[in-house]
Structures are given as C-alpha cells and as structure tokens.
C-alpha cells in the first residue's frame, strides 16, 4: 500500500487541543480528501514543530483519526528518507519517496484507478509535471502562492495588519485574462464553435471554418480554468489557497472579477465531485 506522510503540530492548553499543519501538507491532505480518501493510500501524520505559516485543522473526523498508532512519529522518524526530505512525502513501491507539494498531489491522482480522476492531470498527464526550477507556472503553484500564504499567516499570527493583498493574486488575475494556451487550439476552437452552432436551434447547419490566420486571442475559447478549458489539479491547488487568501481579505474580491468568476466555476466542480 502507498503511504502519504503529512506534518502536523499538536498544541494542548487547558485541556484544549489544537492541530496545525503546514500549508504544503494541508494541500496534500486536501487533495487526499478530495479523492475521497483512497483505499490504496495510507495516511500518516508526522508530528513536528512547524516553522513558518501554519493552518489550523478543524475537522472533527480528522481529530478522531489522530490515534497513537496513526501518528507515525512524534518528534523524529526511523525512516531515513523522511528525515532527509521535506514533508509532505508520498511513498510507493516500498523504496520510492516523492517530495514537493505539486509532485505529491500529482502522485495522489496518478495512482488512482479511476480514469475520470486521472483526467485531473490534464493533457497527456502533464499538468504541473515540470519542476518549479524550470517552469514558471509550477513555481507559481508550488512556491509563489505558498510563500504568499505563509507570509499572510505569519502576519496574522504576529498580530499584524494586512495592508495589501498578496501580489500573487493580481498575477493570477492577469493570467486569467490571457488567451488560452493549449495543444491543437484551432481544432478545439472549431469543435467548440461547431457544438455551439449545432445547439443554437437553427434549422440550417453549417460547417464552422477557423484557420490559423485567426489570432489566438480571437478564437472562441473561454479561459474558464487555470490551464484553459479543462479542470485540473492546478485549479484545486490554487482554489484552496486563493480562497483562503480572500477569507482574510474579504472586501478585495470585487477588484478581481476574473478570479471571482473562476472561483465560482471551481466551486461548482468541487461540489459536484
């Protein structure tokens, strides 16, 4: 059985126990829950002292799971790979360990038998496949937005004021305003235009012609999701963290209409699943 290791910090004061997780481990746990706690993956809690921003876990069902045997280690671990790597970690095939938030989330999806779930990995399973060191997009999803969340949480924890929204939010707004970039974009545009024509209710049908002379920004393709027209793990990761940012910056969402529309789209997708 595969293993998912996430880090938690347990604080008990006056008989009141609070459980925290790092932003990266919280995201891995969210993805695990989104996939309905797959039976082929065992969830392990690694007790540590979290440095940087941390999120309080409020789930009562999660609290019931935190038995002594489920807490894999309290302050350290006997598994060398877990000592050397940064949590969260995904372990498979007995001696293969995968670290990095996006890589762990990808592996959680890739190890599922359900074809529909594996579609979250996008075209040819390449969503967030490139490492953050070589991909600006993966870096945004794995490093930049996480750093923004950590800074926000640290500011709140120290009693500071949030004077401005993290710059990653306007960056994402600009991203959603860009033309869709995808493989076979003209073919997809023709297919979508043909479907709209067929469903328009007119008696006379005609073949839609779109050639490569049409600028990509003029194509009838709506930038609905983070990577274009398909719902992927990038949406789940960004949705989780951007929604938390706006939880603490409530009045600013109206300033980002494309992000607001995207949040609504993803909310519907997550509720259906």
Q: What per-residue confidence (pLDDT) applies to 79?
A: 72
Which residues are CB-contacts of 139 (< 8 A; sequence separation ≥ 6)?
132, 133
Q: In this predicted model, what pLDDT tens digit does every residue of 237-257 receive, in sequence order?
A: 999 999 999 998 888 999 999
Among 2-16, 63-77, 211-225, 236-250, name the most confident range: 236-250
Taking residue 167's Cβ as centre, other Cβ atoms within 10 Å add up to 10
In angstroms, the Cα distances linking 114 to 92, 108, 109, 170 are 18, 12, 9, 35
Closest-CA residue to 126 (of 273, 227, 32): 227
Cβ within 8 Å of residue 103, ≥6 positions away? 90
Confirm if 146 and 104 have CB atoms less than 8 A apart.
no
Name the more confident of 254 and 223: 254
Average pLDDT of the chain to the nearest whole number: 83
Q: Please give the Cα distance from 208 to 19 (Å, whole number).
A: 56
Dihedral sign (CA 55, 242, 172, 134): positive
Pairing of strands 89-92, 2-13: antiparallel
* Segment 140-196, tens digit of pLDDT: 999 999 999 999 998 888 888 887 899 999 999 999 998 877 556 555 655 666 566
The whole-angstrom separation of Cα 76 and Cα 113 is 33
pTM of the full structure: 0.85
Q: How far apart are CA 145 and CA 240, in angstroms?
A: 11
């Amino acid at each position: 059985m595969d293993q998912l290791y996430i880090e938690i910090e347990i604080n008990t004061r006056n008989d009141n126990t609070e459980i925290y997780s790092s932003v990266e481990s919280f995201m891995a746990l969210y993805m695990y829950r989104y996939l309905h706690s797959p039976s082929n993956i065992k969830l392990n809690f690694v007790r540590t002292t979290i440095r940087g921003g941390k999120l309080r876990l409020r789930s009562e069902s999660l609290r019931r799971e935190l038995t002594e045997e489920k807490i894999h280690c309290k302050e350290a671990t006997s598994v060398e790979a877990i000592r050397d790597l940064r949590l969260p970690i995904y372990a498979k095939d007995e001696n293969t360990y995968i670290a990095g938030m996006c890589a762990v989330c990808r592996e959680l999806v890739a190890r599922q038998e359900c074809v529909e779930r594996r579609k979250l990995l996008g075209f040819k399973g390449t969503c967030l496949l490139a490492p953050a060191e070589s991909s600006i997009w993966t870096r945004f999803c794995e490093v930049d937005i996480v750093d923004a969340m950590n800074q926000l949480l640290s500011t709140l924890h120290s009693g500071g004021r949030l004077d401005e929204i993290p710059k990653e939010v306007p960056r994402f707004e600009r991203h959603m305003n860009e033309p869709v970039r995808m493989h076979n974009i003209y073919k997809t545009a023709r297919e979508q235009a043909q479907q709209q024509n067929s469903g328009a209710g007119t008696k006379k049908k005609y073949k839609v012609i779109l050639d490569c002379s049409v600028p990509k920004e003029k194509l009838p393709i709506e930038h609905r999701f983070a990577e274009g027209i398909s719902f992927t793990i990038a949406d789940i990761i960004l949705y989780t963290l951007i929604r938390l940012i706006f939880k603490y910056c409530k009045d600013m969402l109206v300033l980002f209409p494309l992000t607001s529309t995207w949040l609504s789209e993803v909310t519907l997708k997550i509720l259906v699943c």
